[in-house]
Amino acid sequence: MSDALIMDRVTKSFGDVVAVDELSLRVPSGCIYGVLGPNGAGKTTALRMIVGILEPDSGSVSVLGLADAAAVRQRIGYLPEEKGLYKKMRVGAMVAYAGELKGMPKKAAHENAIHLLNVYGLGDWVTKRCEALSKGMSQKAMLLSTMIHDPDLVILDEPFSGLDPVNTEIMRDVIVNMRRQGKTVLFSTHVMEQAEQICDAIVLIHRGRKVLDGPLASVLDAGGTAVQLDYDGDGEPLKELRGVSRVNDAGKHAELILDSGTDPQDVLAQVVGKVRVRRFDLREPSLHEVFVRAVKEDASGE
Amino acid sequence: MANRVALVARREYLENLGTKGFWLGLLVFPVILIASIAVPFLFSKSAGRRTYTVIDGSGWLGAAVQERILTQEFTTLLRATIRIEESGDSSAYALPDSMVELAVAVKPLSDDHRARVAGALAGSDAAVEALDSALDSYVKELVLSARAEAQSWYRSLTAKQAKRIDDGLDATRYAYVAPPDRPAAVDELNRQIADGRLFAYFVIGPDPVTGSDGTRYVSKNLTDTSLRDWYAWRASEVVRERRIERQGLTSEIAGWLSAPLSFVGEVVGSGGATSAAKASDKLRQWAPAIFVYILWVSVFSSAQMLLMNTVEEKSNRVLEVLLSSVSSLELMSGKILGMAATGLTIVGAWVAFFYATTMALPRFFVGMPDLGLAQIASDPVYLLLFLCYYIFGYFLYAALLVAIGSVCSTHKEAQNLMTPIVLALILPLLTLTPITRDPNGTLARILSFIPTFTPFVMMNRSAGPPEVWEYVVTTVELMLSVVVAFWAAGRVFRVGVLMTGKPPSLREIVRWARASGGRRQINAL
């Protein structure tokens, strides 16, 4: 089995609003797949349809080779963006409950819950109430609840939102670790840098429609050449560089998108006279650039 | 499916057991029950006798009223003494021997004759002389020899002793003391009232037969009118007889003219035969009303608890996590069942407590009339009806409230949306008394067929009882409504739990419930 998930021309609207419009995608088994898009692009609706919380108006969703998400529920783990724990429940019981709902026998669920909590450093909290957990710890507990039943496909909706750097790293490790165990991880985010760091493949969604998708490397390669520039000084003159089609200037860092045929040496020479260069790195454009460009093309193509 | 519903229900149930609301709910009824039975009882037991005195401006009425009171008391005493003597152990009551002897002698006499004997005991020699010739001289002699002892014994009787002999004795509640024999009696009495040594005093005007001029009742406590009413009633009796006498009629005719008719209450049993009404019969008529009230409280509080708990879980964002494991219908059913189990636990504990209490009460409170509470509490008809109507009524309201809970993010929003339901729920309480009085009336019948009222109204009517077809039709109707409510609630719940932000209006909710599965409105995408 090569595809963990296939969506075929899936459409979903709420009243007059088309949240997901003819979305088709394939997620190969065993990869980390990013669903990218700005807020309100329809990512959450798409994920909810995959998990079976919402029914598509038209089109089909096939998860782990089956058309009915409910039938494979026990092999899916889902962590919504808006998530919480039963405040009064003990942490161990809470995680185990998630496992039991996925069909695990009571004993196995409890043993596994305690095992996972120990592995992820929450061993001391097993018998404490969930309301006693700090925000980072409860995020972790919720993540463990989604993976207690050893699912084949894990779906995470904005898993990084609201996390501090330490917890972001833990989340990233967990995701990478799941791939190592052969699981498929599908997550949504509106932060392109995170996707760039860990995704094997991505889909970009804008206004409910797929803008582009594919393995990360090929998506980025198609974007042409760009320069990642770290600098000090006023970035304003960068916009007047010859041979540069666009500048994504963040103040200390700028991404220069080169016209095809432009010699990077020529650009470097121009830059040196204008700002103080700390790093000049020739590479493919960032996902951010790819996304912005794709959305623009999408808009002009209408 | 069933397994996941059971899992959700079990979790809900266990969590509910840990809440304060559960334990409060469990305790509130026993506390109210004990309080409502024990407090008035203990209060009446502990309340001291009201001491009073009379300043008699007429010179005759005060004494006449005292004689009247004493006559009444001796009538009761003779009856009580006969009862005590029959039960064998008269020594425990400190009754004078002469009283016991007299009681034995009057046992075969009619009530009327006994009243005359009591009057003679209470009154002067003339009253003894006036005893009917039908009474033999032995009784007359007994009265003469017993009179002085009986009167002084009665005056020394304490409230506690009186209560043991007979609860109905006025001596348990009121005690007469002689007024001070001084010109400044009023000042002295006012001081005594201020000190609390005296409860009240009566002042009788110079000519009570003509009118109430100068007649007064003086006390610190004007809210408790029982003493005033009690004394005024007896004084009026005497005055009325005197007024009739003035019209040239004999005192016998006067007494007969003013004697009230008394109707003895009887109830018709199932066989058509009548029997004397007991306190328990009256209670039995009212038992359904009590059941309705408990039903109402339990249905409403469980459904309300479910609403609050749904809102809380929704605002905690816990529900969507579960939705990838269970369908929204499973989740909703599990929650409703879990709360039903909680409610049944509470109600079961109540019934058990009620039963145990009514069994144990007579042991703790000696002298309480047997109200047959235990029989009512354990009446299988009432219990079965109660259980059925609790379950159906709860399901109906739970479905409505869980749907409301699912669309709200805060308790305040939930309260607003609940207002119409609360208003509708008040009706069964308002009709409680009218339906109890007329269980098969038009109002009761019409309300029976409105599903949201069926459980309460039919429970209320059960003493009637309604006809079998009414039970069948209303129950079928109620069950269908439960199914429809579940179905509609399921649709609203499915949309509602994923929704954030402002709650929809009632009209929008109704539209969701009607809309086909595919086209639903969600504010948050």
Residue A53 has its nearest CB partner, among B8, B15, B324, at B324
C-alpha angle B362-B365-B369 in degrees, rounded to nearest 5: 60
How much is the average pLDDT of A203-218?
88
Q: What is the dihedral of CA B434, B435, B437, B438, to 10 degrees?
A: 110
Mark which residues 203-222 of A lie under 8 Å from B by CB.
none
ipTM of the complex: 0.82
For B145-166, the pLDDT digits (tens) are 888 888 888 888 888 788 778 8
A40 contacts in chain B (CB < 8 Å): 525
Strand partners, A60: A8
Q: From A193, A208, A207, select the one nearest A290 (Cα to Cα).
A: A193
CB A140 within 8 A of CB A79: no
Please report which residue ranges of chain A form alpha helices under DSSP H: 43-51, 91-101, 106-119, 135-147, 165-180, 192-198, 216-221, 264-274, 287-300
Confidence label for B336 from pLDDT (cuts 50, 70 and 90): very high
Strands A3-14, A201-206: pairing kind: unpaired
Does A59 lie at the interface with B, CB-CB under 8 angstroms? no
Q: How far apart are CA B518 and CA A15, in angstroms?
A: 10
Hey, is the C-beta of B321 within 8 angstroms of any chain A C-beta?
A: yes
Most confident of A152-156, B84-88, B364-368: A152-156
Number of residues in chain A:
302
C-alpha angle B133-B138-B142 in degrees, rounded to nearest 5: 110
Please give the pLDDT value at position A118.
93
**Distance from B407 to chain A by nearest Cα, in Å?**
16
Three-state DSSP state, B268: strand
Q: Are strands B266-268 and B274-276 parallel, antiparallel or unpaired?
A: antiparallel
Question: CA–CA separation, B415 vs B430, rounded Å?
Answer: 22
Q: Is the dihedral of CA A68, A69, A73, A75 positive or negative?
A: positive
Query: Nearest CA to CA, how far is B197 from chain A (Å)?
Result: 59
Does residue B329 register a pLDDT over 70?
yes
Is residue B522's pLDDT more than 50? no
Angle at B325 between CA A42 and CA B398, to 5 degrees: 95
The answer to whether the CB of A210 falls within 8 A of the CB of A23 is yes
Spatial contact of B370 and B456, defined as CB atoms under 8 Å apart = no
Q: Is the pLDDT of residue B94 over 80?
A: no
For residue A86, the chain B residue with the least C-alpha distance is B318
State yes or no: pLDDT of A302 exceeds 70.
Answer: no
CA distance A25 to B299: 50
Q: Which chain A residues have a beta carbon less than 8 Å from that of B323?
A: 51, 53
Contact A189, A246 (CB under 8 A): no
Q: What is the mean pLDDT of residues B127-143?
A: 73
Q: Is B285's pLDDT higher than 80?
A: no
Residue B442, chain A, CB below 8 Å: the answer is: no
Q: Find residue B273's DSSP bridge partners.
A: none
Looking at residue A301, its amino acid is: G
Residues in chain B: 525
Percent of chain B with pLDDT over 90: 9
Q: What is the pLDDT of residue A200?
A: 92
Cα B150 off chain centre by: 38
* pLDDT, chain B, mean: 81
Order of strands across the sheet with A201-206? A76-79, A153-157, A184-189, A32-36, A201-206, A209-215
Q: What is the pTM of this model?
A: 0.72
Distance from CA of B397 to the nearest CA of A (A): 24
In the structure encoding, which two tokens stand for residue B14, read together? 């266990």
DSSP states along B53-90: EEEESSSSHHHHHHHHHHHHHHHHHHHHHHHHHHHS--
User: What is the distance between the alpha carbons of residues B407 and B417, in angstroms, rounded to a whole number?
Assistant: 10
User: Between B282 and B194, whose confidence is greater?
Assistant: B194
The pLDDT-based confidence of A32 (bands split at 50, 70, 90) is very high
Contact call for residues A41 and A206 (beta carbons, < 8 A): yes
**pLDDT tens digits along B229-247:** 999 998 988 888 888 888 8
* pLDDT tops 80 at residue B347: yes
Q: What is the pLDDT of residues A101-133, one digit of tens each?
A: 998 999 999 999 999 999 988 889 999 998 898
Q: How confident is the model at residue B334 (pLDDT cuts 50, 70, 90)?
A: very high
DSSP three-state, residue A279: strand
Q: Are B67 and B213 spatial neighbours (Cβ–Cβ below 8 Å)?
A: no
What b/e readout covers B367-397, taking b as 16+ CB neighbours within 10 angstroms?
Answer: eeeebbbbebbebeebeebbebbbbbbbbbb
Which conformational region is residue B344 in: left (phi greater than 0), alpha (psi within -120 to 50 degrees), or beta?
A: alpha
- The yes-or-no verdict on residue B445 having pLDDT over 70 is yes
- Residue predicted with more confidence, A148 or A273: A148
Question: Scanning every residue of chain B, which has its alpha carbon at the shortest distance from the alpha carbon of A93?
Answer: B11
| The pLDDT of residue B132 | 65
Band of residue B270 on the pLDDT scale cut at 50, 70, 90: low
User: Given a cut of 80, is residue A224 above it in pLDDT?
Assistant: no
Mean pLDDT over the full length of chain A = 87
Q: Which of A106, A112, A167, A173 is nearest to A144 (CA)?
A: A112
- Asked if the C-beta of A55 comes within 8 angstroms of chain B's C-beta atoms, the answer is yes
CA dihedral B6, B11, B15, B21 (to 10 degrees): -30
Q: How far from B211 is each of B61, B193, B241, B259, CA to CA, in Å? A: 13, 27, 14, 21
pLDDT of residue B265: 66
**What's at B348, amino acid-wise?**
G
Give the pLDDT of residue B520: 42
Residue A50: closest CA among A41, A40, A63:
A63
Name the percent of chain B lying above pLDDT 70: 85
The per-residue pLDDT for B524 is 34
The mean pLDDT value for A233-244 works out to 84
What pLDDT is recorded for position B476? 93
Q: Which of B4, B519, B525 sits opposite A45 (nearest CB)?
A: B525
- C-alpha–C-alpha distance, residues A168 and A159, integer Å: 9
Residue B523 has pLDDT above 50, yes or no: no
Model confidence at A283: pLDDT above 70: yes
Where residue B197 falls among pLDDT bands split at 50, 70, 90? confident
Mean pLDDT of B410-420: 85
pLDDT at B301: 84
Three-state SS string over A151-201 comes to: CCEEEEECCCCCCCHHHHHHHHHHHHHHHHCCCEEEEEECCHHHHHHHCCE
Which residues in chain B have their CB less than 8 angstroms from residue A145's CB? 321
DSSP B49: P
Q: Cβ A53–B323 below 8 Å, yes or no? A: yes
Position A153 scores a pLDDT of: 92
Q: Is A82 an interface residue toward B (CB < 8 Å)? A: yes
**Placement of tokens 């190969």 in the chain:** A28
As a whole number, mean pLDDT of residues B331-352 equals: 89
Confidence at residue B518, expressed as pLDDT on a 0 to 100 scale: 40
For B:322-361, CB contacts with A below 8 A are: 322-328
Q: Of B8, B318, B324, which to mutate for an interface test with A (greatest number of A Cβ within 10 Å)?
A: B324
| Residue A234 pLDDT > 50 | yes
SS3 state at A246: strand
What number is the average pLDDT over the span B58-69?
89
- pLDDT for the residue B519: 40
CB contact under 8 A, A48 and B500: no
When pLDDT is cut at 50, 70 and 90, the band that residue B427 belongs to is confident
Q: What is the pLDDT of residue A145?
A: 92
Contacts of A85 in chain B (CB under 8 A): 316, 318
Instruction: Calculate the alpha carbon distances from B207 to A35, A251, B159, B248 in Å.
Output: 105, 111, 33, 18
Cβ contacts of A155 on chain B, cutoff 8 Å: 324
For residues B325-353, give the mean pLDDT.
89
pLDDT of amino acid B411: 84
Strand order in the sheet with A3-14: A17-28, A3-14, A58-63
Alpha-carbon distance of B472 to B449, in angstroms, equals: 11
Residue of A17, A101, A188 to mutate when probing chain B, most B C-beta within 10 A = A101
CA distances for A39 relative to A19, B94, B250, angstroms? 12, 93, 105
Q: Check CB contact of B521 with chain A, cutoff 8 Å.
A: yes
Query: Could you tell me which chain A residue has the CA closest to the CA of B2?
Result: A101
Q: Average of pLDDT values for B255-262?
A: 76
The whole-angstrom distance between A289's CA and the closest CA on chain B is 26
Helices (H), B175-250: 185-195, 226-246
Q: What average pLDDT does this structure show over B187-205? A: 87
Helical residues (DSSP H) of B365-467, grouped into ranges: 373-377, 380-407, 411-430, 432-437, 442-448, 454-461
Across the interface, of B7, B15, B320, the residue whose CB is closest to A101 is: B7
